[in-house]
Chains A and B, each alone.
Chain A
Amino acid sequence: MATTTDDLPARHSLGKSMKRKEDPRFIRGKGRYLDDIVLPHMLYLALVHSPYPHARIKSIDKSKALALPGVKAVITGEDLDAAKLEWLPTFHGYDKQMVLAFGKALYQYQEVAGVVATSREIASDGAELVEVEYEPLDPLVTPFQAREDKIILRDDRESKTNHIYHWEVGDKAKAEGELDGSAVRIKERILSPRCHPAPLEPCGVLADMNKATGRLTVYMTSQAPHVHRTAFSLVTGIPEDKIHVISPDVGGGFGNKVPVYPGYVVATVASVIIGVPVKWVESRTENLTTTGFARDYHMDVEIGATKEGKVTALKVSTVADHGAFDAAADPRKYPAGMFGIVTGSYDFPTAFAEVDAYFTNKAPGGIAYRCSFRVTEASFAIERGMDILARKLDMDPVELRRRNFIKKEQFPYPSPLGFVYDSGDYEATTQKALDIIGYDELRKEQAEKRKSGELMGIGVSTFTEIVGAGPGKHFDILGIKMFDSAEIRIHPTGSGIVRAGTRHQGQGHETTWAQIVAEELGLDPQELLVEEGDTDTAPYGLGTYASRSTPVAGGALALAARRIREKGKKIAAHLLEASENDVEWKDYKFNLKGVPGKSVTMKEVAFAAYTNPPPDSEPGLEATYYYDPPNLTFPNGSYIAVVDVDRETGAVIVRRFLAVDDCGVVINPMIVEGQIHGGLTEGFAMAFMQEIAFDESGNNLNTNFTEYLVPTALETPHWETANTVTPSPHHPIGAKGVGESPNVGSPQAFVNAVMDALAPLGITHIDMPLTREKVWRAIRDAEAKVS
């Protein structure tokens, strides 16, 4: 049942807009990011990149670079191959990737060699002096070219095809049969273009091999430090206890800091060989051209419906461009991630989805940018599809959605593509959005404007997300099940330290994790120190991405705290001189049942745990919990965009944007709202300005921030937000996660709004990004057809 935040009972720490505990260091410029760390005798690594998207490497001459004073080493793929470190396994284990181009360079800017020197400037100078002779080869720029198998990209693989995999889910024959028999049917090719998460802090590493202790310390920009430790151990053979990964303050991640990059490996190899610390920090160009991109899904979306607008079947066939290696960090069982969420918020009787992935001469990646494993692509496909169907039916797009929503009494809802949605009240969330924005009035205004030829559009997106991987029985990384963990130690004076296996990059865990624990224990969240990112001290966890921190680690925190409460109850009984059965936890303290006023606080219990524990009991007060969630969580939202399009220039003004989110129980409304603002801004960027595009020769056209645009404060619209609360029934505190919802839910609201504005011109679909030029050309072509 959806409620508003105001309806929830008063809480101790949960649901409060507590100011962030991490901020005092950031506002003073005292954050400690990767590049801020300086170690004695540290060397610097710079990389040499291929200018060609596809080329045979004929020779590499290191001599001039090595002759430069200050250069300590030049490392090539051949050197790594000799050390058996040239190939890395990809996260799902189905492919491997080169560290340095070896034999062939497979994409423009691919790393070909590394130069280690005494300063960052000398390392860069040295990289300029490495002479590489290339023999250019014809590139594969699109997955459609790759599909023809005229050029085979990967010499190293046994199967001589560019086809990586075919994945499907659902009943193909039934879906196609239903589509054929449908009274109304739409089909549209929809592209979710290649884009890039581009966190403001670039990726980097500082590897420090201490030959005296035999320990390798790796400081790195990591969203998943434990997984990275395990990966480093598996690849290098160094025992895992001899590897210490520290992810310091991370300046934004958005999925870009999940993969392992060649720079990390080369710097580490250099440190192991030379025995001094080696730092590598990438440039913005290196970040945009070589590290984990997002999307690149070409989707054929077909929907069938009755004349009354009841959907009958969905079929989505996707051609995916994975770049030169299949390095998308998907769980093994799900090569196309959670794309099966493509039925969205709608009760499809039957559905079918398939993905065929191909190698191309582009950088690898594919799982990133605030997206829980292909959910952004899926959500875009269904929400665009529903709008196109509404237009074909000549029906209001909100009305069509309402006729097909999964109803609140249908939860838990088994979807035709195999997920069980936990909870939701799509009707209530949507109604709230319509009321706040004044939907009917806007439609009236639009009708008036259309009479005079003005192009005003209203776009809706009533999306459902799928986040919080595990459960471990379905989801893994490198075979490691996707649980997460928490460890809580309460000190004698009632303050404590809280550690988790996640690693925040701006999400505010130092605050929200303290709030969760404080809520469970009745302690002061200001006196609970939260620590993440150090593999020597934090319990093993799978990290922060795919909106999984609150659904998974959040559960672990609550359950670890409840273990503390269990022990605390025994101590409380001892202090109250009562039987444990007569003690209950209520109103954030331990009370003697039936004796008002006879109670002890957790703070008193904590002191007793060290000074006066019950006889024959274990002193101390700490607990650990490894939480493997029973299901994913399914946040939802109803977003409405209102735009005005200038017919003469193609310029789009986003006049209003409202996001009503339902992420279950809210831990900190201020932080949730901040996450939504940020995600909407990224969705806005994808809709209107961002694409990593290539020319027909395979040259990357968007290699820095002057070509790959990030919205500034000037373009960014004013965001309106609201929420409903439908708790997740299986999550320990009812939370669902929110970080990615605004990015998953918003691009289609913008595009639907622009297409709605352009409807009088007969324009059905334009692929993102909707740049001024693209919109202008579409208007001009449409007008030419009419006249």
Chain B
Amino acid sequence: MISEKTLPYWLLAPSLVFLIALFAYPFADAFIIAFQADGQWTFENFRTMADDINFGLSFWNTLILVLIVVPLQLAIALTMAMMLTKIRAGRDLVLYVWTIPLGISDLAAGVVWLALLSERGYINTALSALGLLDGPTLWLSYETPVALFVAVIFAEVWRATAIVMVILVAGVQLIPKEYNEAAEIFGASAWQRFIKITLPLLKPSLQTALILRTLLAFEVFAVVVALGGRDLPVLMGEAFLWQFDYRDSGVASAYAVLILLISIAFTLVYLRVLRVKEEPQ
């Protein structure tokens, strides 16, 4: 029964079963729940979602957060990856230190930044000790939405830039050194080599990193909850709220479907804009 031809499928089977049971099924289930109320097919859940006072706010908060965080992370990660190509001794050590945040869960990351930024946190203490602040100052409240927003951006950049960097570092290593040397010989400055050679050849890695990071950025939740509670509503936070506080799976699922649709839309845009030409060998 198990022949050389069927062996690959047997080896794939466990992971397929696992994904269908624990991913595809709940996913389809959520989809059905989103479009049903009282056993009837309906858009009622989406209407409730859209009419909710926090919906617009959470939608725009999430979108703006993604539009600031992802490009910022990409720029920082690119800079880090390029800097790594320039050092020889201690390169691995720097890489390991930079990737430390990858090992921390997002809730823990949020708690770390809470400890730094709360009323009696490290930053307030340090600033008052230096005489730059009169006393404990509130950063993370609904009265200081900009400061709260900036804090979330900081925490997200700190927490999740490393994954982008790791993908880009791997991509940069795949580019043969001769391309850059040829560009140098033929007159390109360091900046021109980066723009005209490295970036285009890095496209596949940029695409992977952008898709991965954008999808995860739309699901931003734990860091926001840890730092702002409900003072900074985001889409995933609303889904959580409807599911566990309001006990309305229908509306929670509607949020989930919305996040999915936005994610698919962004992925399609990336695939289109950063498409890599299929070249026959």
Real binding pair: no
